[in-house]
Amino acid sequence: MPCDRTMRIRPRPTGIIRLLEPRDEARADAVIRSVRREFDVTGPGFDQHEPAATPLYALYGEPRSAYYVVDIDGQVEGGAGIGPYGGAASETCELQRMYLAPAARGAGHGRALLAACLDAARQFRYRRCYLETAASLAAARSLYLSVGFRAIPGPPDHAVHPSCDAYYLLELTPPGQRGQTKETSP
């Protein structure tokens, strides 16, 4: 029997990273909830303890906050946001709700989302970026380490999401001064 010498490859999805718009809210929330269920991160502080529709647009419309989405052919396939950790005057922001639907994985969208959030954090003059995640999210944790986050033993103050069991911190370099510290570029 002859060997099939053709190889079928799945093209990588192309997309853009942009700020969340009101029309994106339902789909962004659906991606968050779906990925949480997929990776079994649904305990206290996750789905069952959040309102039916997380008001992402209002939440990230607050000062020194932003939420970015991955838009692939007009469909939101993931997102990530930053906001102050520990109050509006805080020098520390928190990376929040970073989730990608399967259609957006493996094409660099997570790295691009993270870069957009860290750039916004620098523009908002945060000095540190903190995040809480689940140890089961190995690919995400690997991404965080690859851009310079370091694992820390626990939250700086108190765990915002009690189901999280992995904590990371990144010292941010101010805009215009990148490359002068050991921080790894996203």
Measure the CA dihedral 174/21/16/170, to 10°.
Answer: 30
5-9, 128-132, 149-153, 155-159: segment of lowest average pLDDT: 5-9
pLDDT at 184 over 50: no
Tens of pLDDT, residues 38-68: 988 876 666 544 555 558 999 899 999 999 9
Rounded-to-integer distance, Cα 26 and Cα 142, Å: 28
DSSP 115: H
Question: How many C-beta neighbours within 10 Å does residue 146 have?
Answer: 12
Q: What average pLDDT does the chain have?
A: 83
- What topology is assigned to 16-171 in CATH? Aminopeptidase (3.40.630)
Every domain of the chain and the residues it spans:
16-171
Percent of the chain with pLDDT over 70: 76
Confidence of residue 180 (pLDDT cuts 50, 70, 90): very low
Q: What predicted TM-score, i.e. pTM, was given to this entire model? A: 0.82
